Chains A and B, each alone.
Chain A
Amino acid sequence: MDLLNALVAFANFVFVPAVAYGAQLALGALGVTLIYGILRFSNFAHGDTMAFGAMCTILVTWGLQSWGISAGPLPTALLALPVGIAVTALFLMATDRAVYRFYRKTRAAPVILTMASLGVMFVMNGIVRFIIGVEDINFADGARFLIGAREFREATGLDEGLAIRSTQAITVVVAAVAMALLFWFLNRTRTGKSMRAFADNEDLALLSGINPGRVVMVTWLIVAALATTAGVLYGLDKSFKAFTYFQLLLPIFASAVVGGLGSPIGAVAGGFVIAFSEVGVTYAWKKVAGYVMPENLQPDGLAQLLSTDYKIAVSFAILVLVLLFRPTGLFRGKSV
Chain B
Amino acid sequence: MKRILLATVASAALAGTAGAEDVKLGVIFGFTGPLESITPTMAESAELAMSEVAASGAFLGGSTVTPVRADSTCVDATAATAAAERLVSAEGVKAIIGADCSGVTSAILQNVSRPNGIVQISPSSTSPGLSQVEDDGLFFRTAPSDARQGQVMADIISERGITSAAVTYTNNDYGNGLANSFAEAFRAKGGEVTMQAAHDDGKADYSAEIAALSSAGGEILVVAGYVDQGGRGIVQGALDTGAFDTFFFPDGMYGDTLLNAFGSDLEGSFGDLPAAEGDNAALFQQIASDAGFDGTSSYAGESYDAAALVLLAMQAAGSSDPAQFKDRMFDVANAPGEQIHPGELDKALRLLSEGQDIDYVGATGVELIEPGESQGTFREYNIVDGAYETIGFR
List CB contacts (< 8 Å) of A240-275 with chain B: 241, 243-244, 247-248, 251, 275
Closest beta carbon of chain B to A298's beta carbon, Å: 13
Contact (Cβ within 8 A) A17 B211: yes
Question: Which residue of A has the minimal Cβ distance to B203?
Answer: A247
User: Which B residues are in CB contact (< 8 Å) with A278?
Assistant: 205, 207-208
Closest beta carbon of chain B to A90's beta carbon, Å: 27
Kindly identify which residue among B212, B232, B233, B236 contacts A308, using a CB–CB cutoff of 8 Å: B212
25 contacting pairs across A/B (C-beta < 8 A): A13-B210, A14-B207, A17-B205, A17-B210, A18-B207, A21-B204, A21-B205, A153-B242, A163-B241, A165-B240, A238-B204, A238-B233, A238-B236, A239-B232, A244-B202, A247-B202, A247-B204, A251-B204, A282-B212, A283-B208, A283-B211, A286-B216, A302-B195, A302-B212, A304-B215
Kindly identify which residue among A14, A136, A153, A239 contacts B211, using a CB–CB cutoff of 8 Å: A14
User: Which B residues are in CB contact (< 8 Å) with A302?
Assistant: 195, 212, 215-216
List CB contacts (< 8 Å) of B216-275 with chain A: 216-217, 228, 232-233, 236-237, 240-243, 257, 261
Kindly identify which residue among B198, B211, B240 contacts A284, using a CB–CB cutoff of 8 Å: B211
Kindly identify which residue among B215, B237, B242 contacts A283, using a CB–CB cutoff of 8 Å: B215
A104, CB-defined interface residue at 8 Å? no
Q: Complex Cα distance A106/B203, Å? A: 38
User: Which A residues are in CB contact (< 8 Å) with B240?
Assistant: 163, 165
Contact (Cβ within 8 A) B242 A163: yes
B171, CB-defined interface residue at 8 Å? yes
Contact (Cβ within 8 A) B212 A284: yes
A91, CB-defined interface residue at 8 Å? no
Given contacts A136-B257, A244-B202, contact A17 B216 (CB under 8 A): no
Q: Complex Cα distance A279/B202, Å? A: 17
Kindly identify which residue among B203, B215, B236, B241 contacts A286, using a CB–CB cutoff of 8 Å: B215
| Cβ-closest 4 pairs across A and B | A149-B242, A17-B207, A284-B215, A13-B211
Kindly identify which residue among A21, A284, A288, A307 contacts B207, using a CB–CB cutoff of 8 Å: A21
Question: Which residue of B has the minimal Cβ distance to A12?
Answer: B241
Q: Complex Cα distance A287/B216, Å? A: 7
Of the four ranges (under 10, 10 to 19, 20 to 34, 35 or more), the interface on chain B belongs to 20 to 34
User: Which B residues are in CB contact (< 8 Å) with A165?
Assistant: 240
Q: Complex Cα distance A244/B216, Å? A: 27
- Additional A-B contacts beyond A13-B241, A244-B202, A282-B211 (15; CB < 8 A): A14-B207, A17-B211, A17-B241, A21-B207, A135-B228, A149-B242, A161-B241, A163-B240, A234-B204, A238-B233, A283-B208, A283-B212, A284-B195, A284-B212, A308-B208
User: Which A residues are in CB contact (< 8 Å) with B214?
Assistant: 13, 287
Contact (Cβ within 8 A) B243 A13: yes
Which residue, of B208, B212, B237, has the highest number of chain A Cβ atoms within 10 A? B208
List CB contacts (< 8 Å) of A210-261 with chain B: 234, 238-239, 241, 243-244, 247-248, 251
Q: Complex Cα distance A309/B197, Å? A: 8
Contact (Cβ within 8 A) A244 B198: no
Given contacts A287-B214, A308-B199, contact A279 B208 (CB under 8 A): yes
B294, CB-defined interface residue at 8 Å? no
User: Which B residues are in CB contact (< 8 Å) with A308?
Assistant: 197-199, 208-209, 212
Given contacts A302-B212, A308-B208, contact A12 B217 (CB under 8 A): no
Contact (Cβ within 8 A) B216 A309: no
- Interface 1/0 per residue, A285-322 and B, CB below 8 Å: 11110000000000000101001110100000000000
Given contacts A138-B261, A308-B197, A309-B171, contact A287 B215 (CB under 8 A): yes
SS class of chain B's interface: helix, strand, loop or mixed?
helix
Closest beta carbon of chain B to A69's beta carbon, Å: 23
Q: Complex Cα distance A116/B204, Å? A: 25
User: Which A residues are in CB contact (< 8 Å) with B257?
Assistant: 136
User: Which B residues are in CB contact (< 8 Å) with A288?
Assistant: 215
Contact (Cβ within 8 A) A244 B242: no
Q: Complex Cα distance A137/B198, Å? A: 24
Closest beta carbon of chain A to B249's beta carbon, Å: 17
User: Which A residues are in CB contact (< 8 Å) with B210?
Assistant: 13, 17
User: Which A residues are in CB contact (< 8 Å) with B217?
Assistant: 286-287
A150, CB-defined interface residue at 8 Å? yes
Question: Which residue of A has the minimal Cβ distance to B168?
Answer: A308
User: Which B residues are in CB contact (< 8 Å) with A138?
Assistant: 261
Which residue, of B209, B237, B241, has the highest number of chain A Cβ atoms within 10 A? B241
A148, CB-defined interface residue at 8 Å? yes
Kindly identify which residue among B202, B228, B242 contacts A150, using a CB–CB cutoff of 8 Å: B242
Q: Complex Cα distance A149/B198, Å? A: 25
Q: Complex Cα distance A163/B210, Å? A: 13
Closest beta carbon of chain B to A256's beta carbon, Å: 15
Question: Which residue of A has the minimal Cβ distance to B261?
Answer: A138
User: Which A residues are in CB contact (< 8 Å) with B241?
Assistant: 12-13, 17, 149, 161, 163
- Interface 1/0 per residue, B184-213 and A, CB below 8 Å: 000000000001011110111101111110
User: Which B residues are in CB contact (< 8 Å) with A285?
Assistant: 215
Question: Which residue of B has the minimal Cβ distance to A135?
Answer: B228
Question: Which residue of B has the minimal Cβ distance to A287?
Answer: B215
Given contacts A18-B207, A148-B242, A309-B171, contact A243 B202 (CB under 8 A): yes
User: Which B residues are in CB contact (< 8 Å) with A17?
Assistant: 205, 207, 210-211, 237, 241
Which residue, of A14, A135, A248, A309, has the highest number of chain B Cβ atoms within 10 A? A309
Question: Which residue of A has the minimal Cβ distance to B257?
Answer: A136
Question: Which residue of A has the minimal Cβ distance to B209?
Answer: A308
User: Which A residues are in CB contact (< 8 Å) with B202?
Assistant: 241, 243-244, 247
Question: Which residue of A has the minimal Cβ distance to B265?
Answer: A144
Q: Complex Cα distance A13/B237, Å? A: 10
User: Which B residues are in CB contact (< 8 Å) with A286?
Assistant: 215-217
Q: Complex Cα distance A239/B257, Å? A: 13
Q: Complex Cα distance A279/B215, Å? A: 13
Q: Complex Cα distance A302/B216, Å? A: 6
Q: Complex Cα distance A53/B303, Å? A: 44
User: Which B residues are in CB contact (< 8 Å) with A275?
Assistant: 205
User: Which B residues are in CB contact (< 8 Å) with A234?
Assistant: 204
Closest beta carbon of chain B to A227's beta carbon, Å: 15
Closest beta carbon of chain A to B195's beta carbon, Å: 7
Kindly identify which residue among B199, B215, B233, B236 contacts A13, using a CB–CB cutoff of 8 Å: B215
